[in-house]
Amino acid sequence: MSNRNDRIKEQLRDLSARFLLQNGNGSSLLTVTNVELTPDGKNATIFFTVFPETHEKTALEFAKRKRPDFKEFVKENSKLGRIPFLDFEIDAGEKNRQKIDKLLSE
């Protein structure tokens, strides 16, 4: 992974966290955990967790519905020349890690 792609990923992680915080309704806690960027930089997937987990479906629907607004937010708050196609997903890997941690601590 190039240094440039690493900087883009970090910038998208920061911007997505700010966007979700500013635009969410506060009924759940959304935490951005990772950003995956394709090597060509044309697609980016923002992974996040939701607390409480019962709000995951609603939070994912909200994030996907807000993709055009998020793209505009990225345009206004970054110096990225070409903005990748942006998508949101629930971070299942983080959920599994938390379950393992819980089992190990028992």
Indicate the pLDDT class of residue 67, thresholds 50, 70 and 90. Answer: very high
**Under a CB-based contact definition with an 8 Å cutoff, are residues 70 and 84 in contact?**
no
Query: Could you tell me the residue range of the domain that residue 56 belongs to?
Result: 3-105
Q: Which amino acid type is present at position 91?
A: D
- What is the pLDDT, as a whole number, of residue 85? 97
Q: What is the mean pLDDT of the chain?
A: 92
Q: Distances in Å between the alpha carbon of 13 and those of 36, 83, 92, 103?
A: 10, 14, 17, 29
Instruction: Output the domain CATH number for residue 65.
Output: 3.30.300.20
pLDDT of 1 over the 70 cut: no
Torsion of CA 10, 16, 19, 24, to 10 degrees: -140
Half-sphere exposure of 74 (CA within 13 A, CB side): 25
pLDDT at 16: 97
pLDDT at 2: 73
pTM: 0.87
Domain total of the chain: 1
**What pLDDT score was predicted for residue 106?**
79
Report how far apart, in Å, the C-alpha atoms of 54 and of each of 25, 35, 42, 77 are. 15, 23, 32, 32
